[in-house]
């Protein structure tokens, strides 16, 4: 078992279970027993995706980190977002987030980073490739996880090791996500 799991917190676990049950969601699949990886959470088309992710994180006791726009880290919720694993990102500054993430993997024996390649809840014409460059630079795999609104499930898929052939790897990744229906399907990008 990897060390990427938090100690039991009955309140957080109960809140996570209650939220998923109230919304009618379930978790399918199993996280890998690895110390370091990037979990791709896609497709990110709604604020509800975050609620489901936090409930999922609580239920599994996953010690995962995630990037969020710096504005959600302001009071009154900023401290809570950080406690839940959030790392504020300033998109208006020339900060190399990829290099910072690679360094974080280098500095920690156990590190899970959850990223949404869309980088926004709006319609996009392509995925941001930071997740891929971080995985290649840190030599860590990607865990493909999908939000399937049609079947109300978080589906934990395969562990995927990037090969360096970006086009071929993206084709494989998009094929995995194609069957899953996001909250707003018109915003989803499938590489087409």
How many C-beta neighbours within 10 Å does residue 15 have?
15
As a whole number, the mean pLDDT across the chain is: 87
In this structure, is residue 76 part of a structural domain? yes
147 DSSP β-pair partners: 154
Task: Name every residue whose Cβ is closer than 8 Å to that of residue 187 and which is 6 or more positions away in sequence.
Answer: 43, 45, 118, 121, 122, 123, 124
Q: Can you tell me the mean pLDDT for 173-192?
A: 87
Of 60, 63, 4, 71, the C-alpha closest to 30 is 60
Q: How many domains does the chain have?
A: 1
In this prediction, residue 3 carries a pLDDT of 61
- pLDDT bucket at 1, cuts 50 / 70 / 90: very low
The interaxial angle of helices 166-177 and 130-138, nearest 10 deg, is 120
Q: What is the pLDDT of residues 77-91, one digit of tens each?
A: 888 888 888 888 776
Say what the pTM is: 0.85
Please check whether residue 49 lies inside any domain of the structure.
Answer: yes
- Domain-embedded: residue 189: no
Q: Is residue 5 part of a domain?
A: no
Angle between helices 97-107 and 130-138 (to 10 degrees): 30
pLDDT of residue 38: 96
Where in the sequence is the domain holding 101, given as residue range(s)? 36-153+170-184
3 is a domain residue? no
Greater pLDDT, 151 or 188:
151
In a domain, 4, yes or no: no
Rounded to an integer, what is the distance from CA 77 to the centroid of its chain? 20
């Amino acid at each position: 078992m990897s060390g990427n799991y938090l100690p039991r917190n009955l309140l957080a676990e109960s809140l996570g279970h209650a939220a998923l049950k109230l919304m009618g969601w379930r978790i399918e699949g199993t996280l890998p027993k690895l110390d370091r990886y990037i979990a791709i959470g896609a497709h990110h088309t709604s604020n509800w995706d975050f609620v489901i992710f936090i409930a999922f994180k609580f239920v599994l006791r996953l010690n995962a980190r995630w990037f969020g726009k710096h504005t959600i880290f302001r009071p009154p919720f900023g401290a809570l977002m950080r406690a839940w694993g959030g790392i504020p990102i300033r998109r208006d500054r020339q900060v190399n987030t990829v290099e910072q993430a690679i360094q974080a993997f280098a500095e920690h024996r156990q590190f899970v980073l959850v990223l949404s390649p869309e980088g926004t809840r709006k319609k996009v014409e392509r995925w941001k490739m930071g997740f891929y460059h971080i995985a290649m630079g840190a030599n860590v795999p990607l865990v493909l996880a999908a939000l399937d609104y049609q079947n109300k499930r978080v589906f934990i898929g395969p562990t995927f090791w990037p090969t360096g052939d970006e086009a071929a790897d993206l084709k494989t990744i998009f094929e995995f996500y194609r069957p899953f229906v996001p909250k707003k399907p018109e915003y989803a990008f499938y590489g087409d």
